[in-house]
């Protein structure tokens, strides 16, 4: 009981308030039950290792959620009350509160819809990726661009791509079910930063309007990367995000495309913890599917540990891990008013995290993509048909044009 009391005290700590505000602040802290000594020790270690900047961010975040709860309508309080009761019963090790995501329905926030039969193509896709990278690396050597050097090791107890400055800021998909779009772009932006040491801001709206990978009603991240093999995405400044489906505009001149993408688990499904760690080190942040629940929607801190699930409805990006927490560090696309400034820790094996994990490789900005890659794409018949709109030429022609 002593461990549980200690964790509750940590979760409920807030600046001094009076009257009803006291109970409000405590309720915003919700719950954080100790899952054995390892879980409590992990939280203690994380607290002791926090930097002054991190401590300030945590304090600001707690104040943000406490202030929002003061203005919460009765139905929000009732939902949080029900989640708190369920958490105590099930031994959850995370907190819930009035996040900005709770102002929308889960149906608006999620939209991961897997195309039929895509997992069956995983072996062929990975064979293509291996051949494409071989061709690309051979071309890179001509320009004295060295091979990608691993930034971490899967045997490490923890790793976070943010510490190396390779993760772009958290974005907000709004009330459009375009999580698949944001997950694809987040992984690509990190891949580009890793390859070129340059942070970019690619246009999710361009992909939403033109890639044919989905709509605000849902989609999937892998077809985005198929499209990017033969089409360039513009910067967000050229086509800002509106959170609405629109007709693909004409006359766009893009900047960003990929050279390959692959599955973490050759047969699809959920890779092992070791496979995900190895892929994170070898390729960078990964686009994955997960099951976003009402508790996920209200997450404000701790480690989400709702347990094993087989369903999925949302796409996110894994950017790191922590074996003390026994969890993945995940970047979401619901803005910074949700979770840990837009991030969440999800326990290994919980909420189907990692389902259909995939990586993408961005090209070097020091030379153009080689013509030989066209032959590889054609050989594997990976030539997506573009939406009618900005590029009325065929994908192969489009690919050839960028070589000049």
Instruction: Please check the confidence at residue 21 and state whether its pLDDT lies above 60.
Output: no
How many Å apart are CA 306 and CA 105, to the nearest integer?
Answer: 20
> Can you give the pLDDT at residue 388?
35
Q: Is residue 322 within a helix (H) or strand (E), and if so which, with residue range? A: strand 314-322
How many Å apart are CA 249 and CA 288, to the nearest integer?
Answer: 29
Stated pTM of the model: 0.83
> Can you give the pLDDT at residue 170?
98
Looking at per-residue pLDDT, the higher value among 275 and 268 belongs to 275
Long-range pairs of 9-12 with CB within 8 A, sequence gap ≥ 24: 10/43, 10/47, 11/95, 11/301, 11/302
CA distances from 25 to 118, 342, 343 (A): 46, 21, 22
Residues 181, 243, 71, 344, Cα dihedral to 10°: 10
Tens digits of per-residue pLDDT, 24-75? 333 333 333 333 333 333 333 333 345 665 666 688 999 999 999 999 999 9
Confidence of residue 172 (pLDDT cuts 50, 70, 90): very high
In 3D space, the residue among 7, 1, 81, 17 whose CA is nearest the CA of residue 47 turns out to be 7
How many Å apart are CA 246 and CA 132, to the nearest integer?
Answer: 33
Tens digits of per-residue pLDDT, 303-328? 999 999 999 999 999 999 999 999 99
Mean pLDDT within 133-157: 88
Instruction: Please check the confidence at residue 169 and state whether its pLDDT lies above 70.
Output: yes
Tens digits of per-residue pLDDT, 119-138? 888 999 999 999 999 999 99
The answer to whether 210 touches 250, Cβ cutoff 8 Å, is no
Instruction: Please check the confidence at residue 182 and state whether its pLDDT lies above 70.
Output: yes
How much of the chain, in percent, has pLDDT values that exceed 70?
80
How many Å apart are CA 230 and CA 4, to the nearest integer?
Answer: 55
Domains and CATH numbers, the chain: 1-98 (no CATH), 119-289+356-401 (3.90.70.10)
How many Å apart are CA 81 and CA 97, to the nearest integer?
Answer: 10
The answer to whether 230 touches 402, Cβ cutoff 8 Å, is no
**Active site members:** 179, 314, 332
Burial class (CB in 10 A: 0-12, 13-18, 19+), 37: exposed
> Can you give the pLDDT at residue 382?
63
pLDDT, averaged across the chain: 84
- For β-strands 314-322 and 260-263, DSSP reports them as unpaired
């Amino acid at each position: 009981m002593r461990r549980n009391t200690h964790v509750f005290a940590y979760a409920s700590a807030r600046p001094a308030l009076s009257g009803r505000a006291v109970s409000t602040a405590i309720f915003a802290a919700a719950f954080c039950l100790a899952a054995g000594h390892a879980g409590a020790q992990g939280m203690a270690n994380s607290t002791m290792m926090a930097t002054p900047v991190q401590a300030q961010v945590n304090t600001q975040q707690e104040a943000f959620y406490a202030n929002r709860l003061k203005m919460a309508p009765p139905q929000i309080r009732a939902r949080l009350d029900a989640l708190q009761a369920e958490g105590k019963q099930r031994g959850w090790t995370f907190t819930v509160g009035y996040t900005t995501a709770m102002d929308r329905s889960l149906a608006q926030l999620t939209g991961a819809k897997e195309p039929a039969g895509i997992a069956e193509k995983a072996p062929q896709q990975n064979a293509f990726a291996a051949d494409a990278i071989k061709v690309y690396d051979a071309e890179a050597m001509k320009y004295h661009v060295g091979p990608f050097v691993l930034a971490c090791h899967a045997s490490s107890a923890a790793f976070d791509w943010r510490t190396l400055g390779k993760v772009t800021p958290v974005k907000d998909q709004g009330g459009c079910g375009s999580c698949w779009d944001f997950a694809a772009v987040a992984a690509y932006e990190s891949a580009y930063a890793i390859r070129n040491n340059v942070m970019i801001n690619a246009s999710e709206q361009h992909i939403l309007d033109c890639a044919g990978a989905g709509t605000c009603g849902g989609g999937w991240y892998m077809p985005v990367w198929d499209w990017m093999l033969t089409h360039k995405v513009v910067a967000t400044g050229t086509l800002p995000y509106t959170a609405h489906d629109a007709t693909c505009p004409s006359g766009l001149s893009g900047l960003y495309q990929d050279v390959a993408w692959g599955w973490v688990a050759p047969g699809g499904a959920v890779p092992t913890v070791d496979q995900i760690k190895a892929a994170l080190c070898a390729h960078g942040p990964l686009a994955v599917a997960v099951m976003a629940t009402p508790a996920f929607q209200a997450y404000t801190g701790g480690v989400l540990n709702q347990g094993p699930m087989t369903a999925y409805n949302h796409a996110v990006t894994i950017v790191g891990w922590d074996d003390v927490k026994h969890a993945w560090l995940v970047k979401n696309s619901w803005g910074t008013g949700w979770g840990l400034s837009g991030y969440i820790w999800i326990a290994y094996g919980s909420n189907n995290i990692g389902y259909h994990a995939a990586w993408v490789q961005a090209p070097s900005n020091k030379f153009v993509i080689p013509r030989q890659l066209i032959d590889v794409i054609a050989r594997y018949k990976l030539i997506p048909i573009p939406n009618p709109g900005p590029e009325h030429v065929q994908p192969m022609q489009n690919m050839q044009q960028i070589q000049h």
